């Protein structure tokens, strides 16, 4: 009997080592952004930003983000996307309230919701911090953290941009999905 249990334990461990990981180490869902410059993965803070996270997941699962560009790129600050117009003036049809999760700050690789001057105006635009941006803390909803692909974030942040901070050559999110 103990040989059978040992065999089963080894088999389960071997199988677990080759299966794809469906979530982060703490069982949070993971967003995957396949871009024209590489893949970025970030865990979502469902427990601390449930409204913002649910909004992002709904949009990702509907295909809303597929094919959108990074329309605002500021090296050592943020890379921003999620606008179907590609201008920074567009968004999805629903707004969500600002959600400042306790303990969530704008560290390097933090993912936050962009908005207009009204705190409750976020729709679909989001950004990823290129370096810590604690001046944004308390004013914008952080809802994720990059766990893989910071080299891609840095590559996007360093592309040549025009005077409006729009990349001279489009950087595209070809596919966005949730693991």
What is the per-residue pLDDT for 26? 77
CA nearest neighbour of 91 among 80, 99, 100: 80
Task: Return phi, psi of residue 88, to 5°.
Answer: 95, 0
Whether 154 and 131 have beta carbons less than 8 Å apart is answered as no
For residue range 124-169, what is the model confidence (pLDDT) as tens digits? 999 999 999 999 999 999 999 999 999 999 999 999 999 999 999 9
Domains of the chain from N-terminus onward: 23-178 (2.40.100.10)
Q: What is the mean pLDDT for each group of 10 consecutive residues in the chain (179 residues)?
A: 40 36 69 98 97 98 98 98 97 96 96 96 98 97 98 98 98 98
Is residue 100 classed exposed, middle or buried when 0-12, 13-18 and 19+ CB atoms within 10 A define those classes? middle
What is the per-residue pLDDT for 39? 98
Residue 46: which H helix or E strand, with range? none
What is the per-residue pLDDT for 170? 98
């Amino acid at each position: 009997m103990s040989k059978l249990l040992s065999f089963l334990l080894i088999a389960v461990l071997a199988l677990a080592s080759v299966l794809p990981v469906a979530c982060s180490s703490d069982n949070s869902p993971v967003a995957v952004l396949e871009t024209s410059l590489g893949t970025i993965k970030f865990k979502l803070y469902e427990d601390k930003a449930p409204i913002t996270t649910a909004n992002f997941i709904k949009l990702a699962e509907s295909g809303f983000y597929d094919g959108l560009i990074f329309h605002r790129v500021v090296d050592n600050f943020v890379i921003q996307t999620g606008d179907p117009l590609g201008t920074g003036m567009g968004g999805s049809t629903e707004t969500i309230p600002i959600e400042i999760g306790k303990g969530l700050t704008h560290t390097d690789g933090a993912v936050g919701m962009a908005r207009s001057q009204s705190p409750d105006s976020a729709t679909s635009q989001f950004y990823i911090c290129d370096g810590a941006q604690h001046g944004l803390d308390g004013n914008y909803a952080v809802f994720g953290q990059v766990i893989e692909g910071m080299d891609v974030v840095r590559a996007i942040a360093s592309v040549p941009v025009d005077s409006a901070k729009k990349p001279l050559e489009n950087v595209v999110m070809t596919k966005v999905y949730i693991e």
